[in-house]
Amino acid sequence: MPQRYPPNKIRNQKYNILTFLPLVLFNQFRLFLNLYFLIMALTQTIPAFRIGYLYTYWAPLGFVIFVNMVREALDDFRRFVRDREVNSRMYQKLTETGQLVNIPSSEIQVSDLIVVEKDQRVPADMVFLRTTEKNGSCFIRTDQLDGETDWKLRLAVPTCQSLNSDQDLFDIDAYVFAEEPQKKIHGFIGQFTEMNDGVETKYGLGIENTLWANTVVASGRALGVVIYTGRETRSVMNTSHPVSKIGLLDEEVNNQTKILFALTVILAITMLALKGFDGPWWRYFIRYVLLFSSIIPLSLRVNLDMGKIVYSFMIMRDKEILGTVVRSTTIPEELGRISYLLTDKTGTLTQNEMIFKKLHLGTVSFGSDTNDEISSHLHTAYSNIDQGQDVSATTSQRKSAVRRTVVSKIFEAVKAVALCHNVTPVYDDDDSDPDSPEADREDNVTYQASSPDEVALVTWTESVGLTLVRRDLNTMALRTPTGSEELYTILQIFPFTSETKRMGIIVKEERTGQIIFFLKGADTVMNSMVQYNDWLDEECGNMAREGLRTLVVAKKHMTEEQYANFEGRYNQAKLAIVDRATQVNAVIESLERDMELLCLTGVEDKLQQDVRPTLEMIRNAGIKIWMLTGDKLETATCIAKSSKLVSRGQDIHIFKTVLEREQAHLELNSFRRKNDSSLIIMGDSLDVCLQYYEHEFMELAIQCPAVVVCRCSPTQKAEIVKLIKTHTGKRTCAIGDGGNDVSMIQAANAGVGLVGKEGKQASLAADFSLTQFRYLGRLLMVHGRNSYKSSASLSHFVMHRGLIISVMQVIFSSLFYFSSVALYQGVLTVGYVTAYTMFPVFLLVLDHDVTPETAMRYPELYKELLKGRELSYKMFFVWLLISIYQGGIIMYGALMLFEGEFLHIVAISYTSLVITELLMVALTIRTWHWLMLIAEFISVSVYIGSMFIFKSYFDPVFIVTWDFWWKVMVITLVSCVPLYILKFLRKRFSPPSYDKLRE
């Protein structure tokens, strides 16, 4: 019954038509500032409480809400368009009539038979039934699911693959059993059951028989039966739902507005107490609160929100970080407060392009620049073979007792590297005859493998003359440097796993009839399996220091009897129901003893451009870096060293694999004794530690200079981000390029997505999209720093602008019998926060203390921001004192100097107030911009012009007299000059860091 299963639709939207308005309004009025002004605006609808014009309250509030609603609507509409594009992708469905019909991804249902072409993304979780590949297998790319660009081998169900055509699937009586939907992307338990004349034949289905949604078919055409759709697919279950992010600066401003609200209430109570609780005192109390409501300026939200848009525009216009897109304009200031950077590895720090660098034979080492020498030795060896001489004849009988020549050593090593892998050559020339010689088609060959390391090794053997030309499930063919072809029968393959850390293959050489077991793996496990030697440990260490990924290669000859005995035991173990994996591994391990060490290989994973200097800059800025990767421990360790994530000479503590509480306790105690060590831990071990010792583990981990978590699932990445936020209270930034990084990116305070080779899923889900990792340095050091500092200055000024007029109102009401009458009415109130001061104050967003080059050269400047001093309570109270001082000087000065009409008090005090505000902006600016000069000039001009227009507020005769202007000048100078002097003294005797650099 298809209706029992969820629809196969991708949905990343936050809202729908019904929830948009209530959710957006809830998020807006969740902020104290907006809620406060909503209540203030509502009180103005009651005539008894009205103290001004309605538009002075409703217009600014409506503007703020409208701007935010438009922004949220645009962001969500973009998500809707992207989702619709994915959901409307067309796929071919096989019907019972044998026809292929096109259906959109959103209409795919469980039990549908879907055809996925090469390079097409899989639309739902499927069991792999058939393929056009003759060997019954295909490769898939899983980079958008688990972050690994290694190609994974998938096997079609044998019964289905053996059918003559796809149509024959409807002629068999069979069904698929699949486990309940799970989050685990590396495991699956299922059964394929076929009925023949009432007899059931069952085949076990594992991860190798699946095609998960969001993976890409890399070879051939695949046909599968859909088992999970929509929210039950592995990719969706490992993706968190997008949430609305509120920046730390917004939270700090919100907290400070609560203090201002408390101050408003205290002032209202104080005024009421002085006036007396006679009559309708509660009405007077509300009117006092309304009268002092300018202490909390609504224009603060308007200015901050407009500032965010300007910062976003400046980021996208920066020519040094071309292609950068700001997808979330609500949190640019977060980039200036990052304490932890969590980064993916594959495709983020590395290009995932492997290059063979070194071959070590124990007595001699060959680099990539000595390939000619290796080619020469190989040619000599195979020439001898063609002449009937067996180069390796002595090795199996006399073993290491005979000192072999360099020629025979190279021959054995390169042959082992060319055979011990899971690589398949694919020829792209579809128009040519498939039976034509491979030599004629070698220009079009591509290698498919489950690991880029293996491709690099096989590509290297090709470059030195030993080429893999053909491979299927049972045979492998190599072309030798002399042009002849050597055929090998594949008897057994033991694939690489994170537990075994090695890969083996048993082949039979058709030319000699010899059966050889080749094994390659990490030095940590291979050390105990190879014969005694005195060079392996040292050379592994040397290569690791160079940042190379090392593999130890060994072999063992087997007789027919030995292999037959092994095969019997191996097949018996594979039929076991209890502890199957343990029994199979025990049989394989019986072979892995006393093996002949052949060589040590070193492969380099190319780093992204300027990764090392970027990570060093970020580290110097006081940001701790965690690398979260789905890759193997050895690979992650190599990249951590080569990228300088772990600095040279720094100790590394590799957390041992723990499975239970006691082991975790012992390992944590061991880790606690390591001071200032970088930590490398497996995802499974991390889960155990967090289950039993979450607080203890996080307490130790957050003190590490660097942390690497390998074999990390997408869900784990997001959990780690949340844990850091919970246990430190610091701001986090996550950067990645794959679909598996989306949850981590969305969980972080600031999510950065890279436009990767394999799609834009991370980029589209992120708050900020970059084209290169190195751009992250400028994004944080320059734009993050400037955004935070500018918004902090802007916040101080807008609060100062509201506080100073409120102080004047308090003084006015106190002196005039505690009347609840506004000092400045209507146009003056609105004009003060808009036309007269808005533009100069807002243009503080363009101010910066140092040049971008200086900010990049001295990342230590960023470290100062992490202390949060720019918007601290100390700075808040400093500006509060400044406002009280200036408000008092202006109001008392106007009262002392005015003569004649009360109208003159308003003219003198208001003019002094406006000019003081404009001078304070000039006092604060550190780098003048031409727009700032124009804004100051226009503001003064508009104010002077309006003085002659609004004659009900200004006396046209009085304002043109010298008497008016000298009084304004005296009051303004007394309110501003002391602050200029204090600023000069501070700059002279205790200059901030940026001032020292400017000098």
Which residues are known catalytic residues?
344
Other C-beta atoms lying within 10 Å of the C-beta of residue 514 = 16
Q: Residue 570: what are its φ and ψ, rounded to 5°?
A: -65, -45
DSSP of 831-851, one letter per residue?
Answer: HHHTTTTHHHHHGGGG--SS-
Residue 465 gets the label, from left (phi > 0), alpha (psi -120 to 50) or beta, of left
Q: Residue 983: what are its φ and ψ, rounded to 5°?
A: -65, -40
Partners of 140 in the β-ladder: 152, 217
d(CA 738, CA 715): 13
Query: Please, which residues have CB within 8 angstroms of residue 877's CB and are 6 or more apart in sequence?
Result: none
Asked if 24 and 72 touch (Cβ cutoff 8 Å), the reply is yes
DSSP of 852-901, one letter per residue?
Answer: HHHHHH-THHHHHHTTTGGG-HHHHHHHHHHHHHHHHHHHHHHHHH--S-
Query: Please, which residues have CB within 8 angstroms of residue 801's CB and are 6 or more apart in sequence?
Result: 297, 299, 832, 833, 837, 841, 917
Query: Please, which residues have CB within 8 angstroms of residue 449's CB and are 6 or more apart in sequence?
Result: 139, 150, 151, 421, 422, 423, 424, 455, 458
What are the angstrom distances between the C-alpha of 346 and each of 95, 120, 217, 458, 735?
40, 21, 19, 21, 11
What are the angstrom distances between the C-alpha of 891 and each of 55, 112, 894?
27, 80, 5
d(CA 209, CA 224): 10
Burial of 954 (0-12, 13-18, 19+ CB in 10 A): buried
Angle 785-815/902-924 helices, nearest 10 degrees? 160
Q: What angle do CA 450, 234, 85 make, to 5 degrees?
A: 95
Asked if 210 and 125 touch (Cβ cutoff 8 Å), the reply is yes
Other C-beta atoms lying within 10 Å of the C-beta of residue 974 = 16
Asked if 658 and 664 touch (Cβ cutoff 8 Å), the reply is yes
d(CA 328, CA 751): 9
DSSP state of 927: S
Asked if 822 and 809 touch (Cβ cutoff 8 Å), the reply is yes
Reference 443, options 424, 458, 425; nearest CA is: 425
d(CA 40, CA 38): 5
d(CA 464, CA 459): 9
d(CA 129, CA 156): 5
Structure tokens at 647: 């600095």
DSSP state of 420: S
Asked if 559 and 535 touch (Cβ cutoff 8 Å), the reply is no
Reference 850, options 858, 839, 842; nearest CA is: 858
Asked if 217 and 117 touch (Cβ cutoff 8 Å), the reply is yes
Q: Scan for tokens 């438009």, then name that residue.
A: 70
